[in-house]
């Protein structure tokens, strides 16, 4: 069903305008769960390293739908709905664990690690009394099972048979950029999560906004980690929803910032622990920062030697959980592992270059509630969604809305 209410028409300017009601319409949010998260998209579920061996599992989600991801005794990866076929209880309560089977705590219905119902307590009754009838078919109500594909240690899942193969969904340039970062088997380093007071789409817009970082994040520009005068660009998939933005690590003088009088141009600050910014060009291509986003809710991050995946989890119209998992590689020596852990201070809820994002998206959410008839202006870099050789553009933001509108019929 297409949303056709007059007050819910997309602005005539197209992708260069985003109506504020997309962040505060409950009916739209509910429809997103069906059309996007349970529709023909690939959602990032976990790192393969989070399933370290046979008979291991972890929790994840498709939007608000709880999911179990598991590796069976033969090493195959499966994903299925975290819902018991009996009374709908969550099957897995722990974030991760090891088990040969999954038993529902409520009535002890049992499942294998592919999500198949394998046992029902007292199915035949007790002492010849009670139990289920012989023609009962509880297996027909078993948890929904996902299609699963992996790419370079990343696990994605979809409920839809119409979703194209993962490589086609991402596009060749995005696949190449994923493989660039995921260059070796992953070693988990830790993680954290935070709750953002805003709609999930605001954070994904933020990720795809390639020029805000040099303005909002003063730490970036003060210590010359990221300035728009550094060489870089934006790569956008044909569908629009997948992107990569990157910048080279070479320091720049930043005269453009100083001449413009921006607060982020203050170069008289010094770090008490300058080793925080010690970096190694481990990829050999001079790229200092690469942020990669996959529609609808996945981010792969390389900020110098700080590597992480971010899973964006809608938890309501104005509530989003952001789950960060930091990692290195099994090939890292002790010095590189220490460097990654040190640079992990750059990201996360209190990270020197990321703590402002949650606040900024919250500011937009608070304002958007009372601006249903207004729209944001998304015209940096023009009106298109093509890849560009600079980052003073909102082309990837427009690409997100191009993909979004296609899935939502808007």
Residues 348, 215 share a domain: yes
How many Cβ atoms sit within 10 Å of the Cβ of residue 75?
10
What confidence tier does 259 reach under pLDDT thresholds 50, 70, 90?
Answer: very low
Examine residue 19 and state whether it is found in any structural domain, yes or no.
no
Residue 48 belongs to some domain of the structure: yes
* CATH code for the domain of 116: 2.102.10.10
Around Cβ 179, how many Cβ atoms within 10 Å? 12
pLDDT of 115 above 90: yes
Residues 203 and 93 in one domain: no
Q: Name the residue with tokens 């990654």.
A: 340
Say whether both 257 and 184 belong to one domain. Answer: yes
The values of phi and psi at residue 164, to 5°, are: -65, 165
Specify if 183 maps to a domain: yes
Mean pLDDT, the chain, as a whole number?
90
Report yes or no on 107 lying in a domain.
yes
Which pairs from 158-162 meet CB under 8 Å and 24+ separation?
A: 158/40, 158/41, 158/42, 158/43, 159/38, 159/39, 159/62, 160/38, 160/39, 160/40, 160/41, 162/40
For residue 217, name the pLDDT band (cuts at 50, 70, 90): low
Give the model's pLDDT for residue 355: 74
Beta bridge mates, 110: 103, 119
Domain match, 128 and 206 both: no
| The last residue of a domain, from among 82, 117, 149 | 149
Domain count, the chain: 2
Contact (Cβ atoms closer than 8 angstroms) between residue 77 and residue 148: yes
The reported pLDDT for the residue numbered 199 is: 98
Per the listing, tokens 């370079």 go with 152
Q: What is the pLDDT of residue 14?
A: 96
Same domain, 318 and 226: yes
Is pLDDT at 56 greater than 80 in this prediction? yes
Domain that holds residue 312: 171-408
Mark whether 233 and 100 lie in a shared domain: no
pLDDT in tens, 8-50: 899 999 999 999 999 999 999 999 999 999 999 999 999 999 9
Which residues are bridge partners to 287 per DSSP?
248
* 251 shares a domain with 183: yes
Query: Same domain for 293 and 339?
Result: yes
Please tell me whether residue 129 adopts helix, strand or coil conformation: strand
Q: Does residue 109 have a pLDDT over 90?
A: yes
CATH number, domain containing residue 400: 3.90.380.10
Classify residue 219: in a domain, yes or no: yes
Region 126-144: mean pLDDT is: 90
Model confidence pLDDT, tens digit, residues 351-385: 877 777 778 888 999 999 999 999 999 999 999 99
135 and 184 belong to one structural domain? no
In this model, does residue 251 exceed pLDDT 60?
A: no
Residue 234 backbone phi and psi in degrees, to 5: -130, 130
User: Confidence band (pLDDT; 50, 70, 90) for 265?
Assistant: very low
Instruction: Give yes or no: residues 288 and 202 share one domain.
Output: yes
Q: 227 pLDDT exceeds 70?
A: no
Residue 18 lies in a domain: no
In a domain, 260, yes or no: yes
Quick one: CA dihedral 21, 25, 31, 36, positive or negative? positive
In a domain, 154, yes or no: no
């Amino acid at each position: 069903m297409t949303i056709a209410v007059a007050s819910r028409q997309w602005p005539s300017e197209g992708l260069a305008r985003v109506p504020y009601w997309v962040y505060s319409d409950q009916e739209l949010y509910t429809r997103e769960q069906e059309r996007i998260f349970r529709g023909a998209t690939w959602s990032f579920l976990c790192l393969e390293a989070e399933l370290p061996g046979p008979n291991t599992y972890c929790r994840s989600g498709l939007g608000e739908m709880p999911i179990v991801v598991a590796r069976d005794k033969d090493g195959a990866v499966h994903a299925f709905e975290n819902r018991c076929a009996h009374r709908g209880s969550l099957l897995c309560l722990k974030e991760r664990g090891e088990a040969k089977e999954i038993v529902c705590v409520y009535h002890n219905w049992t499942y294998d690690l592919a999500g198949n119902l394998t046992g029902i307590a007292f199915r035949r009754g007790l002492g010849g009394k009670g139990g289920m009838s012989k023609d009962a078919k509880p297996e027909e109500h078993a948890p929904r099972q996902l299609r699963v594909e992996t790419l370079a240690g990343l696990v994605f899942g979809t409920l839809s048979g119409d979703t194209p193969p993962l490589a086609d969904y991402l596009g060749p340039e995005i696949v190449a950029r994923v493989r660039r970062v995921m260059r070796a088997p992953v070693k988990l380093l830790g993680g954290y999560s935070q709750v953002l007071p805003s709609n999930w789409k605001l954070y994904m817009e933020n990720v795809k906004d390639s020029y805000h970082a040099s303005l909002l994040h003063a730490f970036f520009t003060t210590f010359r980690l990221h300035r728009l005068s550094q060489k870089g660009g934006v790569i956008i998939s044909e569908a629009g929803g997948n992107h990569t933005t990157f910048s080279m690590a070479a320091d720049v003088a930043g005269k453009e910032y100083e001449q413009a009088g921006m607060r982020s141009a203050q170069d008289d600050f010094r770090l008490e622990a300058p080793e925080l910014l010690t970096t190694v060009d481990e990829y050999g291509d001079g790229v200092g920062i690469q942020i990669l986003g996959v529609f609808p809710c996945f981010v792969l991050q390389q900020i110098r030697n700080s590597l992480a995946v971010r899973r964006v989890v809608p938890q309501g119209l104005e509530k989003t959980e952001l789950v960060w998992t930091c990692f290195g590689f099994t090939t890292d020596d002790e010095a590189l592992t220490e460097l990654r852990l040190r640079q992990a201070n750059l990201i996360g809820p209190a990270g020197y270059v990321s703590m402002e994002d949650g606040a900024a998206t919250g500011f937009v959410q608070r304002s958007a509630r009372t601006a249903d008839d207004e729209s944001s202006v998304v015209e940096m870099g023009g009106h298109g969604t093509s890849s560009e050789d600079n980052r003073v553009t909102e082309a990837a933001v427009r690409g997100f809305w191009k993909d979004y509108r296609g899935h939502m019929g808007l």
